[in-house]
Structure 1
Amino acid sequence: MNLSVHSTRWAVFIISMLTALAGIVLIVLGIYTLNDTTTTLGSRTIPVMMLVLGCLVFLVSFLGCFGTISESHAILYAFMIGLLALVGIQLVIAVIALANKGAVDSLMDEAWQKAYDEHPRVLRDVQEEACICLLLTSLMT
């Protein structure tokens, strides 16, 4: 077997494994957020989307891992189609977000103001943690 083919196979396998782990992390975070009773902000939409996205990423990444190990062309084609679908969905979301930038900005401002009116202490805590993280990041660089 050619060395470049062998190294490419391992690179695809490692990248697929890392993205599968990222999918698992999204699933765990989605479950944790759904079951978190300490926060009252927001709806269940974001945790459910995290679960769905985590499952999709894990499934596509698993196809990549299994396809590279088994050298199955059908599985690798399914992996490629899954990747193209995920990239296509990202592009559609990006275009919609850019086309409706003003509406998205005002919607986010309204949601932030509503959350601040209903739960000011929680948002102040989030802002303080964000400031601390930014400060620590700037000190580390």
Structure 2
Amino acid sequence: MSTIAATVAPVRTDRLPVWKHGLGAAVGASVATTAIAAVASDAGVTFAGPDGASIPLLGFAQLTMIFSLIAVGIAAVLARRARRPRSTFVRTCVTLLVLSFVPDLTFGFDGASAAVLILTHVAAAAIVVPVLARRLDTM
């Protein structure tokens, strides 16, 4: 008689899917960027473009949420298709972060507005990217 020992990996119930972690990070990033913009606005930063129109505070939350969810989508696709999803995701996000500075520097915002806008981009990325990257395989 022979017995076959089966080894079964334990099921991890503490791991939520990438999108659930990403959704939480997106909400956190939206709150953070809106708070940064509110503090800057109270300090006199106008966020006005060359036409005089100002970015509303709600716009910070909305755009942060939209672009954070795009990052979640990128992470989900890379998790399935990339050979090295974590490093590919981080490199993609760093590239997109740097590209996100272009409108802030070229659309005619004053220096303080451009600096705070760039700060909000960096803050959102600092919240969302690590949360998603930790959920992706390294190999």
Normalization by structure 1: what TM-score? 0.33
Greater relative CO (CA pairs within 8 A, separation 6+): 2
Normalization by structure 2: what TM-score? 0.33
Q: Which structure shows the bigger proportion of residues in helix conformation?
A: 1
